[in-house]
Amino acid sequence: MEKITSIFSERLLKVNGLILKKMDSSIPLISEIAEYILASGGKRLRPLLALSSARLLNYNGPDKDVCLAAAVELIHTATLLHDDVVDKSNKRRNKKTANEVWGNEPSILVGDFLFSRAFELMVDTNSLEVLKTLSKASCKISEGEMKQLIFQNNINISKTDYINIIKGKTAELFSAACKSGAIISTNDSDEISALETFGKELGISYQLVDDALDYQSENKNFDKSIGDDFKDGKISYPIIISWERSEIEEKNFWKRVIVEQKQTASDLSKAKALINKHQGIKKTYELASLHAEKAINALSIFENSNIKESLIEVANMSLSRLN
């Protein structure tokens, strides 16, 4: 991430400034909560995707790329606020979640506020195509989250359903960020489509790695606490792999901890051991690599450049978090 972050350091400052401006509200508690969650970090990956896609296509207009990058980050932040309520999470990035500090009610309403502010920013791009792309992505995100909720604790989820969930909850926004960055820069539908694919495949790869990291013991550069998904009974790829290769006794373990959600202190370790036994992390890494490769291949229509290289680096960085 260092390369891309340094290339766009000046743009990112503008994005952060715009985000802060958009957090301003006549209700101080709204600004307080919004700043808390936005300050609690993140790598600004989605804004960087929007900025790089625009730069790759030589965007040289006014600050539409900055509006777009800020809008995408606000959609992401609104989603996090609502997710943490839905998942009853109390920690994110080693800080208390907003719902833990202020309760569910303000988190729901501030999420709505940020979502509306994101739409205001999108309108500022003056592009109906951008608005179409991002409003459609927002629908798909809610559908993904909803599907995840429906399949929670359902150990029999198919790989297809699981991939559809992560396509919705993660890959849609990655994809829309890249596509929108392209839309403000060109009319060439092949180039727009290539960046859309890059974002989608990168998003799938990124989420697969995230899901594997939930069962890795080293917690470096990871946004959540280890074992969060496990505690919530969320099924992810490493579990699906382990489940389909398990014998009866092992299946009973998964049923108890995931379906019935009866967990004891040592169960996370046991889950990790079972996942390793059945190569759950390895298989997840392999699938993530496949999607990262697809992402990188989508960029083949573009000439080599500093920006293209840094996008490829992002795809590789996402994977390397697992090493």
Interaction site with a copy of itself (CB under 8 A): 25-27, 29-30, 79, 82, 85-86, 104-106, 108-113, 115-117, 119-120, 122-123, 126, 128, 131-132, 135-136, 138-139, 141-143, 145-147, 149-150
Nearer to a copy of itself (CB atom), residue 158 or residue 306: 158
Q: How many helices (H) and strands (E) does the chain have?
A: 17, 2
Nearer to a copy of itself (CB atom), residue 4 or residue 165: 165
Distance CA 188, CA 304 (A): 18
Burial class (CB in 10 A: 0-12, 13-18, 19+), 96: middle
Nearer to a copy of itself (CB atom), residue 111 or residue 280: 111
The CB-of-211 to a copy of itself minimum distance in angstroms stands at 20
Nearer to a copy of itself (CB atom), residue 18 or residue 274: 18
The CB-of-311 to a copy of itself minimum distance in angstroms stands at 27
The CB-of-141 to a copy of itself minimum distance in angstroms stands at 8
The set of long-range contacts for 307-311, using a CB threshold of 8 Å and a minimum separation of 24, is 307/7, 307/52, 307/55, 307/56, 308/56, 309/3, 310/3, 310/4, 310/7, 310/52, 311/4, 311/52, 311/56, 311/198
Q: Are 22 and 121 in contact (CB under 8 A)?
A: yes
Radius of gyration of the chain (CA): 20
The CB-of-32 to a copy of itself minimum distance in angstroms stands at 11
Nearer to a copy of itself (CB atom), residue 13 or residue 27: 27
The H or E element that residue 4 is part of is helix 2-7
Where do the DSSP E strands lie in the chain?
91-92, 95-96
Collect all residues with Cβ–Cβ distance below 8 Å to 132 and sequence separation of at least 6. none
The CB-of-189 to a copy of itself minimum distance in angstroms stands at 19
Distance CA 22, CA 158 (A): 41
The CB-of-123 to a copy of itself minimum distance in angstroms stands at 5
Which 8-state DSSP code applies to residue 94? Answer: T
Residue whose C-alpha is closest to residue 11's, from 262, 192, 181 = 181
Nearer to a copy of itself (CB atom), residue 115 or residue 222: 115
The CB-of-188 to a copy of itself minimum distance in angstroms stands at 22
